[in-house]
Amino acid sequence: MDCDVKIRARNIDFYYRRSRALKNISLDVLKKRVTALIGPSGCGKSTFIRLFNRMNDLIPGARVEGQILLDGFDIYHPKTDVVSLRRRVGMVFQKPNPFPKSIFDNLAYGLTITDVRDKEFIEHKVIDSLKKAALYNEVKDRLHDNALMLSGGQQQRLCIARCLAVEPEVILFDEPAASLDPISTRKIEELLLELKNEYTIVIVTHNMQQAARVSDYTAFMYLGELVEYGDTERIFTVPKEKMTEEYLSGKFG
Amino acid sequence: MRHFRETIYKWIFSVLAFASLLFLTGIILTLFVESYPFFVRHDISESIFGLYWYPTYDPPEFGMLTLITASFVVTLGAMVVCIPIGVGTALFLQELASASQRAVLKPLIEILAGIPSIIFGFFGMIVVAPFLQRLLGIPTGLNAFTASLVLGIMATPTVASLAEDAVSFVPRSFREASLALGANRWQTLTRVVVPAAGSGISTAIILGIGRAVGETMVVLMVAGGAAVIPHSIFDPVRPMTATIAAEMGEAVMGSGHYGALFAIGLILFFITLAINIVAEIISRRFRLKLGLGR
Amino acid sequence: MKYKTIHTAEPFTAHPGKAIRMSDFSQALGFLFLGACAAFALFFLGSILYFVIVRGAPAISWEFLTSAPRKAMTQGGVAPAIVGTFSLTLGAIAFAFPLGLACAIYLTEYSPKTILVNIIRLSIANLAGIPSIVFGLFGFAIFVKVFGFGVSMLSGSLTLGIMALPGIISASQEAILAVPQSYKEASLALGATHWQTIARVVLPSSLPGILTGVILNVGRVAGETAAIMFTAATFYTRGYPDSIFSEVMALPYHIYALMTEGTHPESQTLIAYGSSLILLTLVLVVSSLAIILRQRQRRVYGL
Ligand SMILES: Nc1ncnc2c1ncn2[C@@H]1O[C@H](COP(=O)(O)OP(=O)(O)OP(=O)(O)O)[C@@H](O)[C@H]1O
Ligand SMILES: [Mg+2]
């Protein structure tokens, strides 16, 4: 079983300046599975998921204790190359954040920053990623239009495609459908189910049904602590903790 | 009764507003009225493209090309200094300075933008010019080069401060997206942040140009004052603003010279107006481009 | 961000390809350049402050601040110039502040929202960028000649005031427009009249922004030379101005005159350094005030 662990968090504590946002969290993310993080607002889901690609490095005064291993290697080791870490662990944010460039340039960005010059390869990769993100048919005639002209749902799929173009091993989704309508949300969910054959996925969501539909494993967090973690089906049917049960049945949160 | 009071207030304000608008349009009117006799008596294109500025000769010559060229050369030189330094400083503040450094440097730069131009003129005249004269072994330190340098430094805080504003308006999500794709900070800065803030930065630069074109005291004191087309950047020159400042005192009211100086003022007015309009148009595009307009 | 742990596993570097090392190299170069830019800017601006302070400080004394110039500007103090600068500035603001504020209130609150008003608003913003020497020309033609005020404190104050006007109007407009619509609606919904809403809700909440704009312009006006050169300033007066129609000395013009006229360069230079130090202190204190005010304002609005 251990060989299937992609990311292992060990005894993670996290502090924003003064306040402690994560308390002693240990959790294994399994390879080529979808892991969902649920919990009430402010419980630290975003904080936790952003540790996996070290996005929290950008926050002044933040501090992390404990260990996160990616394929057994410590990503917070001083010698870790953050840039190559982020190429292996991609991220899709809550609000779609395409660059104010053309659709094509948005997708090519991840390649050109590594000095890939081969035009044909880039074009192939762009189209391929757009197809994987189920966006190609909608935008194939206007690849050189500004990406900000797309609808919110299309923008989000663009961001997913942009992430795929880099060929990450893990993709982190922080409430990817939070700002989208039900139809766009469905499309993203279908996409997630497709992607899990190839990628390890961690997703934060507020939508219980969504977690139940797309994820294999679910972690329930509360006030910076990991309350319960296990098989999605089991968590949703026979939760061990009383708190989990109350949250899932809508008693708080 | 209450209605009456409201109406009174409204009227008071419209009268005052009208008065200030009157003053401001008065500027344009005055420039036209005072330079009108000059334009009647002298051919416009001959004056603008004339090479010889001898306002006190008999008959006088009012060729303004030397003055316009001087303004152009000095402004261009100033831009060579202040664009890289100003924009570089803005990017430094944004990307490299720690939060506490930025908290000190940003207001400091804004305060430095308020140093009166006379201080720069004074400094240029008494420190920079003699220093450059000795360093480069040139006949006089008061020349186009020194003026450009001092002017450029003077415009730097303005450019830096406005460019920093533009860069800090770039949504954090752009940076996060780029970093999350594995770009390093420099790539993120040059390929995402700067292009996104591009028109805002251009606006900053254009307003810096406006400041340099219209600056009087620095060029009056440091540029050397010779009304001839410069052959090298180390020649003394006499920009438009300096000409007005230096000669207004001696020009006889109503004379051709007097009108010519107002004509220069009018040209300056139109140049700066054009600069401001361009800046306005670009900054509007900026807001649209960042998706703030959608 | 800090990270504290015991490292058990080996560090990994994924795909340690050539491309990534290349980009790290350009990053180092780029950051070096940015650092150099900032250092260069600070060096130059710092050296101006340094020279003015170090060379100006010896000139400053009680006598320098309180007495008039003597012996053809080679001795004595600059008190009349200080007084002149203060009175010109005060006069300018006394003229421009009420007018500018009223204009801003009219344009934001009372004027119909037509294209014409928009054009007026834009033109005012553009007038702020016009060279001060052009304002000087205007003041000379209108106040000195047409109105017949002569070269005087009145002409100078009015010229400076008009120079400050566009800036004050723009800043006030911006501050007023930044007041959330919901405040106004709340006040109107409670039965307040339009004027009551302006006076009790709009103006109080936009006051800091308006003041910032005014103070910034005070600094600009106090240091201005070109606009007063032929409207107000004179190289030398015996004493203090006795009416608003007398010529005045002013610090900025005094510095210019000391450097370009007169026959005793050395002693004049020292006085010029002293005057520069006084002017610089004055202007920097004023603009720091404005900027501190603005910083605080930004923090309140969470910007
Ligand atoms: N940059 C920050 N500085 C200080 N505290 C922060 C910062 N970001 C988040 N926090 C705090 O850390 C805690 C966890 O926040 P986090 O964003 O991880 O919650 P979340 O579970 O993602 O919530 P949501 O579901 O609303 O997105 C919260 O109490 C929040 O206030
Ligand atoms: Mg969150």
Q: Which of A70, A74, A83 sits opposite C7 (nearest CB)?
A: A74
Asked if residue A86 lies in contact with residue A166, where contact means CB atoms within 8 angstroms, the answer is no
Residues ≥6 apart with Cβ < 8 Å to A47: A14, A16, A21, A22, A56
* pLDDT value of position C17: 46
Asked if residue A161 lies in contact with residue A99, where contact means CB atoms within 8 angstroms, the answer is no
Is B81 among the domain residues?
yes
The protein residues having their C-beta less than 5 angstroms from ligand 2 (an ion) are A 46
* pLDDT value of position C18: 44
Are B153 and C44 within 8 A, CB to CB?
yes
Task: Find the domain containing B207 and state its range.
Answer: 21-289
Q: Give the CATH number, domain containing residue B266.
A: 1.10.3720.10
Ligand nearest to the CA of A55: 1
Are B114 and C283 within 8 A, CB to CB?
yes
The token pair at A52 is 């996996």
Residue carrying structure tokens 């190359």: A81
B292 has a pLDDT exceeding 70 = no
Are B216 and C226 within 8 A, CB to CB?
yes
* Distance in Å from the first CA to the final CA of chain B: 46
How far, in Å, from the CA of A196 to the mean position of ligand 2? 22
C158 has a pLDDT exceeding 60 = yes
Atom of ligand 1 minimally distant from the CA of A44: 18
Q: How confident is the model at residue A79 (pLDDT cuts 50, 70, 90)?
A: confident
Mean of all residue pLDDT scores within chain C? 82
Q: How far apart are CA C231 and CA C153, in angstroms?
A: 8
The residue whose CA has the least distance to atom 2 of ligand 1 is A16
Asked if residue A65 lies in contact with residue A13, where contact means CB atoms within 8 angstroms, the answer is yes
From chain A, the residues in CB contact with C21 under 8 A are none
A1 has a pLDDT exceeding 50 = no
Is B6 among the domain residues?
no
Where exactly are the structural domains of chain A? 2-101+170-248
User: Looking at residues C2-16, what average pLDDT do you find?
Assistant: 48
Where exactly are the structural domains of chain C? 79-301
**Distance from the B290 Cα atom to the nearest Cα atom in chain A, whole angstroms:** 6
- In whole angstroms, what separates CA B156 from the centre of its chain? 11
Q: How far apart are CA A162 and CA B216, in angstroms?
A: 52
Asked if residue C184 lies in contact with residue C206, where contact means CB atoms within 8 angstroms, the answer is no
pLDDT tens for each residue of A212-245: 999 999 999 999 999 999 999 999 999 898 888 8
Q: Which of B279, B238, B230, B260 is nearest to B40 (CA)?
A: B260
Asked if residue C124 lies in contact with residue C169, where contact means CB atoms within 8 angstroms, the answer is yes
Q: Which of B198-207, C239-248, C288-297 has the lowest mean pLDDT?
A: C239-248
Q: Which of A62, A64, A114 sits opposite C20 (nearest CB)?
A: A114
Q: Which of B178, B180, B192 sits opposite A90 (nearest CB)?
A: B180
Residues ≥6 apart with Cβ < 8 Å to B132: B138, B141, B145, B146, B149
C9 has a pLDDT exceeding 60 = no
The token pair at C174 is 């911006």
Helices (DSSP H) in chain A: which residue ranges?
A: 45-49, 82-88, 103-112, 119-132, 136-139, 152-165, 182-195, 208-214, 232-237, 242-248
* A43 C-beta closer than 6 A to ligand 1: yes
Is B8 among the domain residues?
no
Q: Which of C5, C12, C19 sits opposite A66 (nearest CB)?
A: C5
Packing angle of the helix pair A119-132, A152-165 (nearest 10 deg): 130
Residues ≥6 apart with Cβ < 8 Å to B237: B66, B69, B70, B73, B74, B143, B144, B147, B223, B224, B225, B226, B228, B230
Residues in a beta bridge with A211: none
Say if domain C79-301 classifies as CATH 3.40.50.280: no
pLDDT tens for each residue of A23-78: 999 999 999 999 999 999 999 999 999 999 888 887 888 899 999 999 888 999 88
* pLDDT value of position A25: 94
Task: Judge whether C147 is closer than 8 Å to chain B, CB to CB.
Answer: no
- How many structural domains comprise chain B? 1
User: Looking at residues B65-90, what average pLDDT do you find?
Assistant: 92
Q: How confident is the model at residue C74 (pLDDT cuts 50, 70, 90)?
A: low
Q: Which of A11-20, B58-67, C62-71, C140-149 has the lowest mean pLDDT?
A: C62-71
From chain B, the residues in CB contact with C280 under 8 A are 115-116, 119
B131 has a pLDDT exceeding 80 = yes
Atom of ligand 1 minimally distant from the CA of A61: 3
More confident residue, C183 or A126: A126
Residue of C nearest to A58 (CA): C1
Q: What is the 3-state secondary structure (H, E, C) of A102-134?
A: EHHHHHHHHHHCCCCCCHHHHHHHHHHHHHHCC
Q: How confident is the model at residue B2 (pLDDT cuts 50, 70, 90)?
A: low
* pLDDT value of position C16: 46
pLDDT tens for each residue of B223-242: 887 777 778 888 888 899 99
Indicate the Cα dihedral angle B251, B253, B256, B259, nearest 10°: 100
The token pair at B282 is 């670009």
* pLDDT value of position C54: 93
More confident residue, C40 or C118: C40
How far, in Å, from the CA of A42 to the mean position of ligand 2? 7
* pLDDT value of position C7: 45
How far, in Å, from the CA of A230 to the mean position of ligand 1? 24
How far, in Å, from the CA of A41 to the mean position of ligand 1? 8
How far, in Å, from the CA of A47 to the mean position of ligand 1? 6
Atom of ligand 1 minimally distant from the CA of A39: 21
User: Looking at residues C148-172, what average pLDDT do you find?
Assistant: 91
Q: How confident is the model at residue C301 (pLDDT cuts 50, 70, 90)?
A: low
CA distances from C237 to B279, C14, C234, C285 (A): 43, 78, 7, 27
More confident residue, C246 or B286: C246
* Percentage of the residues of chain A whose pLDDT score is greater than 70: 98
User: Looking at residues C239-261, what average pLDDT do you find?
Assistant: 82
Per CATH, the architecture of A2-101+170-248 is what? 3-Layer(aba) Sandwich (3.40)
* pLDDT value of position C14: 46
The token pair at B205 is 């630069």
* A45 C-beta closer than 6 A to ligand 1: yes
